[in-house]
Amino acid sequence: MKFFKIYLNKVSNKVLLIFINIIFLISFTYCKTQKKDKNLNKIKYATNANNEFSWKIEEGTSIYYIRLSANDYIENINDNEYFKKLLGKYKFSDYSYIKNTNEFVNLSISEDPIENRFLISHKYSYDLNIDSLGKVNLNVYYPIEKEGGYSFNLSKDDFDMIKNILGNVSVKELDNKFYIKNNKSTQSIIINNQYIINDFKSLKSNLDIYAILMFSNYLTMKYIDKKIPNNIKYSIESSNYITTRPVPELIDD
C-alpha cells in the first residue's frame, strides 16, 4: 500500500510538471503572437474618393503619415491639433497580414515621385535594396541636400514588417502579370531578383503592392532624414525599370 502511494505521488508530480510546461508554452506562444500582432497592427490604411491609399504607422504617440502627395512625421499626435483633425476625417482600417511563408532573398525598389518640394514633403527620389539579413543599400537623387549613398541595417521590427507585408503577396499573382517590357514608370519593384513590377496602372487598387511602396517611404523618412550620405553609388536592379530622372523644377515660395 505504501509503495502504491509513493507511485501515485510520482505520477501526480509528473502530470503536474507536464501541465505546468504546457501552460508555460501556451503563455509564451500567446505573448509572442501578441507582440507580432502589436507590431503589424500599428499599420492603418484608408482610401479617398479616387481610390488612392493613405497610410499611417503608429509608434506610441508618434505617427508616420504617408500618401501620394506628401509624407509627414508627427512626433506627438496628442499635441498636434492640425493632424489630429486631418487624420480624424479618414476611416482607417487595420492592415492585416499573414505570416511570411515565402523565402525572402531581397527586395529592390525605385521611385521618382511627381513632386519637387522634396524636403517639405519628405519625399525622395531613390533606389533601395534590402537583402536577406535586413541590410539596406540606398541611393538618393533628390532632394539635393540628401543626395548620395546610404547603407544601414533595419531594426528587427521594421525588417519583420516588410517580410510580413511581402507574405501577403502571392508569387503566382506576381509572375509577369504586372511587368511590361520597355515600360518606363516612375516606380518599380523587384522581389527576390525574379518578380518585376512596373505596371502600376494595373495595380491601382492592389493594397499589398502599395503597402510595399508605403514601407519604402516610411523607411526613407525614418532612416534617411537623420543620416549623412556617403560617396558610394550602389548598383540596384530596380533602377533599370524606372524613367530617367529629370532635374526637378524649383518652385518659388
| Cα–Cα distance, 252 to 28 (Å, whole number) | 57
Segment 30-45, tens digit of pLDDT: 444 444 444 445 899 9
Residue that has been written with the C-alpha cell 504617408 in this structure: 66
Do 150 and 136 form a contact (C-beta atoms < 8 A)? yes
pTM of the predicted model, to two decimals?
Answer: 0.77
pLDDT of residue 183: 63
Residues 6+ apart with CB under 8 A from 231: 148, 149
For residues 213 and 167, state if they share a domain.
yes
Residue 84 covered by a domain:
yes
Residue 32 lies in domain:
1-40
Q: In this structure, are 162 and 236 located in the same domain?
A: yes
Q: In this structure, which amino acid lies at residue 109?
A: I
Give the model's pLDDT for residue 168: 86
Residues 125 and 158 in one domain: yes
Assess whether 34 and 81 both reside in one domain.
no
Q: Do residues 166 and 213 both lie within one domain? A: yes
Q: Which of 93, 105, 109, 63 is nearest to 209 (CA)?
A: 109
Residue-level pLDDT at 129: 97
- pLDDT given at position 45: 94
Does 209 fall in a domain? yes
CA 38, CA 153: separation in Å to the nearest integer? 22
Q: Which residues of the chain have pLDDT under 50?
A: 4, 7-8, 11, 28-40, 249-253
Q: Which residues contact 240 (CB under 8 A, 6 or more apart)?
A: 188
pLDDT digits (tens, 9 = 90+) for 110-121: 998 776 566 667
**Is there a single domain that holds both residue 115 and residue 224?**
yes
Pairwise CA distance, residues 111 & 100, whole Å: 25
> Is the residue at 100 inside a domain?
no
- Taking CA atoms, 5 is separated from 11, 17, 217, 232, in Å, by 10, 18, 68, 76
How many domains, the chain?
3
Q: Is residue 250 a part of any domain in this protein? A: no
Question: What per-residue confidence (pLDDT) applies to 117?
Answer: 62
